[in-house]
Structure 1
């Protein structure tokens, strides 16, 4: 069965009711009600996030006041247009590349993540706006936005304004959110004979069933 197959290739079972002690680079799985199995690995292929047109999507908690009473609701949101990017340095400017080799040879010889030498704390910060937008942020602060929202120390007021515009609410109504960065590149049917599907995550979506 799927459980034995996962254990055979190095996956370790964890139990939802227990505290987990996960380690980077290892793989785990859990089962639920003898009908569901969830397998995952700690880590990521970080280079796939670089130089893409990114947006955000997820769930937002909104505070609403009606008739003197306060209520909270969850709203789903996805900003359609690309709003940020995680840029990388051009490969020919990367000092870790040995200049005695062709660029192609360097890329092939290095590991999947070694080519970028990614520092996940500093290199994966998305660029949302230039310093010009700082003036807009000051304007938000002058209008009391930054003081009203509980997210002022964690999130840029400009991002909060974009989310609010999408949801049709005020930024100070946003209490919290769970947003993920996602690619805006759509899936397409392409090729001269329209026989190919160009899309991200095809390996994940198509091969998951086959692997289990």
Structure 2
């Protein structure tokens, strides 16, 4: 099994995290891991993101990656911060080659047949379908997955606890990305752990 596939199979939901304050990193990661969600995607959407990755890696059992990586410089900074996997919103040849050369598990965003073919050219077969809800939803992914039978997906974008089971019921979907698990602001560890338990109990 490829390393990115084993990461995708760790839990049915990968929490997509936008964390403004590095002081929130440890309580959020502790609560998510305690609730059964060990794979954490820290998006590079805030100035604190790289420090958040460093902090979350201190939590036993956490598998911490960087999301919203858009170029080789961000890729390098994420790896230097200790990211164990990389997620990008789209796929360019430049970023794709850099990720492959770095040898790090990589989940690039795709929304079309051309995107997937670009990934296959780079030797990639695991993709984030993004933005899932507004790119045609599950019917679009089913149509795309048919000719690309060898590919596996993590739909992300607009997915909720209510809609996740339908996505996870489609065989090529190994997990979904979800921002609903952790709200904004001061982390409530008990609430996050409860949300994580609900997400980790979803069946695939």
Query: TM-score, structure 2 length as denominator?
Result: 0.18
The structure in which a higher percent of residues are strand is 1
The structure in which a higher percent of residues are helix is 2
Higher relative contact order (CA 8 A, sep 6+): 2
